[in-house]
Amino acid sequence: MAQPDGKKIFFENLSGAGKAIAVLTSGGDAQGMNAAVRAVVRMGLYVGAKVYFIHEGYQGMVDGGENIREATWEGVSSMLQVGGTVIGSARCKEFRTHEGRLKAAHNLVQHGITNLCVIGGDGSLTGANLFREEWSGLLTELVEQGVIEADAVQKYSALHIVGMVGSIDNDFCGTDMTIGTDSALHRIIEVVDAIMTTAQSHQRTFVLEVMGRHCGYLALVSALACGADWVLIPEMPPEDGWEEKMCQKLSANRAGMKRLNIIIVAEGAIDRNTKPITTDYVKNLVVKCLGFDTRVTILGHVQRGGTPSAFDRILASRMGVEAVLALLETTANTPACVVSLCGNQSVRLPLMECVQMTQEVQKAMDEKRFEEAVKVRGRSFENNLKTYKLLAHRKPESELPTSNFNVAVLNVGAPAAGMNAAVRSAIRVGISEGHKMLAVNDGFEGFYKGQIKEIKWGDVGGWTGQGGSLLGTKRTLPAKHAEKIAEQMRKHNINALLVIGGFEAFLSLLELLTARGKYEEFCVPMVMVPATVSNNVPGSDLSIGADTALNAITTTCDRIKQSASGTKRRVFIIETMGGYCGYLATVGGLAAGADAAYIYEEPFDIKDLQANVEHLTEKMKTSIQRGLVLRNENSNENYTTDFIYQLYSEEGKGVFDCRKNVLGHMQQGGAPSPFDRNFGTKISAKAMQWISKKLVETFRQGRVFANSEDSCCLLGMRRRALVFQPVVQLKDETDFVHRIPKEQWWLKLRPLMKILAKYKTSYDVSDSGQLEHVERNRPKESDASVAM
């Protein structure tokens, strides 16, 4: 298969030959830790280093013996989809003592280990940094005790530390998402969705407690994802008198024909006097004041368990590879760093800067400086809080501004999970800004037919968890019906358009922009929010719906592989959606542990297919029992899924047999993932705020008139930021024949997938993280955390 250009990391470049790397998981477990361990082991072995497991965290390091074992390639097979940590994790009091760290240093030196990859929370990483600072003194002490030879001090002079944050609470400053957070949100949302059906049946109120003793991220984001009525978090305790306000809100929602109420409480929730707010207190309050039938559900350790989500597997795999690169590049003077995620990009940050900032949050909370605690937690957290308040708490009509603007919202193209969350967000933000919001059914087809009606705040209640498109969506483009659409714009006095959809939505905006010369009605602010499972929209690294599709692919691949458990060796050929865009096949392959992924963007021929079969045959003979090959539906018109299935079946005779699956529209269905709900909610809210700003800017002499390029934009995520880009400027970046962007960031993940599947390949390290400093206030656009 053709390889992307880039600095090659074989043994001659960033070689790990002669180095020993140890990986351990410490503190509380988190889903995705195994994916990180697997990536560290395989990347370490790939660059020629020796890699060791340290079982049972720091306890294993102190005890030594069988707890420190050399890792093999095969030893990390089949662990990608397993929750928790297979190498064990334990809290270790002994490591906190000097004697304990002395024992640990001795055990590491015995194995020649001077590179440590620690996966854990801030306590585990702080301990690792202290160990690193004491290292030379500990070795000197061991020499004095006669336990190690004098030359060992010189030979193992420096201990290098790289951290990865594994914590479901997402309580570590400096990183947008920690390993395990997305999976914990999946568990919470699965429970909330299930509870909502029973609550609706009986008209009940449910009070749910989620984890987060010192951090309200899980509570806040799950409240945003399910449209909860009230949320209580430690960083921002409610104002005095909150009890009455909450009961008024619950009562108003019931009066508005809502049959249920959901209240989410973080386990560390407190009031302004730092007194704990418990679920029982909230339940008793609702029963006493309102008489509602109320139940409490405490999720507990369910949130830590289960299979890691696609996002966590990809995050952990990327971080694991980045951690090994960081260890290879480190020198004696390099501070201990943590590999992290900022937007959609890997970064390396000084470990202690992140730890100090995390401790500042707790200090601010202890001293009742709650606004500061929210700010220090990070702009992403602050944004989530603002968005939740904006969407959950409706202002009285008397307090709403009156803009006299009419804004239409429509879905265009194929349905994608998360579209409804985006529509709900746009409608409610628009109403909050004083606009009259109009819903267009069935895309531009419904537009020219006049299927347009006003939509109110309560009409979009409960939309966040719904899959598909409740407004209805069609692939119809507007150019053929421009005159009728202009007539409807005039009839309904539409002053702005928000289009939520995929590649057709992009084409639609280009057509409307062109039609401005003929129809003045189109001279209004127009913005598009990308929503498609294919993730093929130019100008955005991510689209609403792609994460849900990835989870569907990953879950199905897990089950398909498990179906062959205990049988003879078997290879599965799986076809994914995406048109000509190979995003789902590539990233799904990385998340599911595929051996190969065939895509249109990376041309392949019969020799490549033959090489893949031979490579898989060799692996089957020596170690693995099951193989997985993904193929994008339009990767090659001749090398079809059937052809590849038949080729593998023939060439694998006597070694393995084959099965094939076409996943089809199951990738487009289902309830949206927490990521898609929150990404859709936040990006759509931002788009609506842009529309409000543009409406004010372009309102002249009693009407809106916007005909500049920058009044017709696509809001997309680019690396670390959410960016508004004029659609006309994106034309040069687009391959219109194949409906894909000319450059796609995820192609850089393909070598990573191949390395983890034991292929020799080139890996572009030009984009790997450089050591940066923690920024307290990033530029405003970078509120677009890849995750939430």
Catalytic residue among 169, 442, 547, 595: 169
Give the distance from CA 213 to its chain's centroid: 22
Smallest Cα–Cα separation from 104: which of 78, 71, 73, 68?
Answer: 68
Q: Which two tokens stand for residue 320?
A: 């694991």
Strand partners, 596: 629
The residue with tokens 């849900």 is 548
Q: How many CA atoms lie within 13 A of 523 on its CB side?
A: 14
Cα angle 782-784-786, degrees, rounded to a multiple of 5:
120
What are the CA-CA distances from residue 549 to residues 192, 306, 310, 776 (Å)?
21, 19, 10, 34
Q: Which two tokens stand for residue 116?
A: 């440590």
Instruction: Collect contacts of 701-706 with beta carbons under 8 A, ≥24 apart.
Output: 704/405, 704/495, 704/496, 704/523, 704/524, 704/525, 705/520, 705/523, 706/523, 706/524, 706/525
Q: How far apart are CA 180 and CA 31, in angstroms?
A: 5
CA 235, 240, 244, 248 torsion: positive or negative? negative
Asked if 372 and 356 count as a contact pair (C-beta separation under 8 A), the reply is no
Give the distance from CA 786 to its chain's centroid: 5
Give the distance from CA 291 to its chain's centroid: 40
Q: Is 219 buried (19+), middle (13-18) or exposed (0-12) by CB count in 10 A?
A: buried
Tell me the pairing of strands 20-25 and 115-120.
parallel
The secondary structure element, H or E, covering residue 734 is strand 734-735
Q: How far apart are CA 521 and CA 698, in angstroms?
A: 14
Whether residue 169 lies in the annotated active site? yes
Q: Which two tokens stand for residue 207?
A: 């009070």
**Segments of 233-320 assigned E as strands:** 261-266, 294-298
The residue with tokens 């951690």 is 323
Which residues form the catalytic set?
169
